[in-house]
Structure 1
């Protein structure tokens, strides 16, 4: 009987050790899953920050080029206005004198389609 109770005792100890090992393995598994989750979150945050940074760079490049284009158009418009004013000042006198000569110097002529009646 003593050997039988000793065998049962050994079986119970082996069962307890197996149960302890199982619990320890479950704890390690839970710990590893938590660690993997944390690592994934860090990776996701890094990826999100990188894509945000790229988006902001592209956005600033596009918006920056639009403002540059606007400034360039403004400069061209001011240059064109300056040229038009310079041409106005340059040719105003000659055009005014040509207009006055045309209007004031009337040279009466007979129209080419006029038929003289006897």
Structure 2
């Protein structure tokens, strides 16, 4: 019977060692999973920052180029050409109308002869 009890003891010890090894393996697996998750999160954050930077650069380029495009379009329109062509002559006419004053006596004006009525 002692040999049978020794066999059972050995079996129980082997079972305990196997259980301990399983626990260690689970802990290592959990640690590797956490580490992989942290690395993936860091990689995702890095990628996101890189893409946001690229987006901001493209957005800045588009914003900076739009005024030029609109200005080119505005300068190429026929109405704009006639505006610039006629602007100087119209300004001269407007200024002459405003600034060239010829004083005249109003037709309803009655000069006072110093007497009051």
TM-score, reference length from structure 2 = 0.61
For this pair of structures, how many residues does the alignment match? 87
Q: Which structure 1 residue ranges, 5 or more long, are not aligned?
A: 93-118
Q: 1:1-118 alignment to 2 at 5 Å?
A: 1-70=1-70, 81=84, 84-86=86-88, 88=89
Separation in 2, partners of 1:41, 1:11: 45
Give the superposition deviation at 1:75.
Answer: 7.9
User: Pairwise CA RMSD of aligned residues?
Assistant: 2.7
Give the superposition deviation at 1:49.
Answer: 0.7
Give the structure with the higher percent helix: 1
Give the superposition deviation at 1:66.
Answer: 1.1
Q: Which structure 2 residue ranges, 5 or more long, are not aligned?
A: 94-117
Give the superposition deviation at 1:72.
Answer: 5.7
Separation in 1, partners of 2:87, 2:18: 99
* Structure possessing the higher relative contact order (Cα contacts under 8 Å, 6 or more residues apart): 2
TM-score, reference length from structure 1 = 0.61
Give the superposition deviation at 1:70.
Answer: 4.7
Separation in 1, partners of 2:53, 2:74: 31
Structure 1: 4+ residue segments shifted above 6 A: 73-77
